[in-house]
Amino acid sequence: MVFFSQVIDTEALSEFDCFLDELDALDAEREIFKPKLPLELREQRVAIIHPDLGIYISRSDGISLWSLTAPDWWVPLAVTFSDEVNARAFVASWPERNSTGSYRYVRVPVCDEEYCEELAGPEELAYAGLESLFGRVFEIEVTSRAL
């Protein structure tokens, strides 16, 4: 019976771990100091607004979530659409058969982070004048950012 043993150089492994830690720190530093594009220069997309329900946030399990009715633990980001035509088509596709004319379609700047380029957060929605429709979802986010 032949056994292979592998000698692990713990010093080299420790140096490699330190190198990885330094890379993580540099990545975190880059994210913190990454300059944000001013709101007026960001890509503009379209948010769906309902007169009684507020800002369309997303759809989950066939149910539309709106800023004035969603649970306050919901993520404070609203889905946006490339243009009004696509937003209206999306509303028309709902099984509720809503009249697309019952909604407003508002241009909003979108998040400039890599993971959320089709979403609008509290800052972007407020810039578009929609803060009166925030509801608990966005109010909590705005309050926590102010602290």
DSSP 93-109: TSTT---GGGSEEEEEE
Range of the domain at 104: 41-146
User: Above 90 in pLDDT, residue 62?
Assistant: no
Is the Cβ–Cβ distance between 86 and 46 less than 8 Å?
yes
Residues 6 or more apart whose Cβ sits within 8 Å of residue 124: 39, 42, 108, 109, 110, 111
Tell me the mean pLDDT in the region 68-75.
Answer: 77
Question: How many residues are there in the chain?
Answer: 147
Among 9, 18, 125, smallest CA distance to 67 is for 125
Alpha helix locations (H) across 2-134? 10-33, 84-92, 122-127
Confidence label for 35 from pLDDT (cuts 50, 70 and 90): low
Give residue 18's pLDDT: 59
Q: What is the pLDDT of residues 96-118, one digit of tens each?
A: 767 888 899 999 998 877 667 78
| Any domain includes 35 | no
Q: If you average pLDDT over each of 9-23, 25-39, 120-134, which comes out highest?
A: 120-134
| Any domain includes 61 | yes
| Any domain includes 29 | no
| Any domain includes 24 | no
Give residue 23's pLDDT: 60
66: how many CB neighbours lie within 10 A of its CB? 22
| Any domain includes 104 | yes
Q: Give me the residues paired with residue 49 across strands.
A: 55, 104
Confidence label for 134 from pLDDT (cuts 50, 70 and 90): confident
| Any domain includes 36 | no
Taking CA 62 as the corner, what is the angle to CA 65 and CA 125, rounded to the nearest 5 degrees? Answer: 25
Give residue 147's pLDDT: 44
Write down the mean pLDDT value for the chain: 76
Tally the domains of the chain. Answer: 1
User: Above 60 in pLDDT, residue 12?
Assistant: no
Tell me the mean pLDDT in the region 40-44.
Answer: 83
| Any domain includes 126 | yes
User: Above 80 in pLDDT, residue 26?
Assistant: no
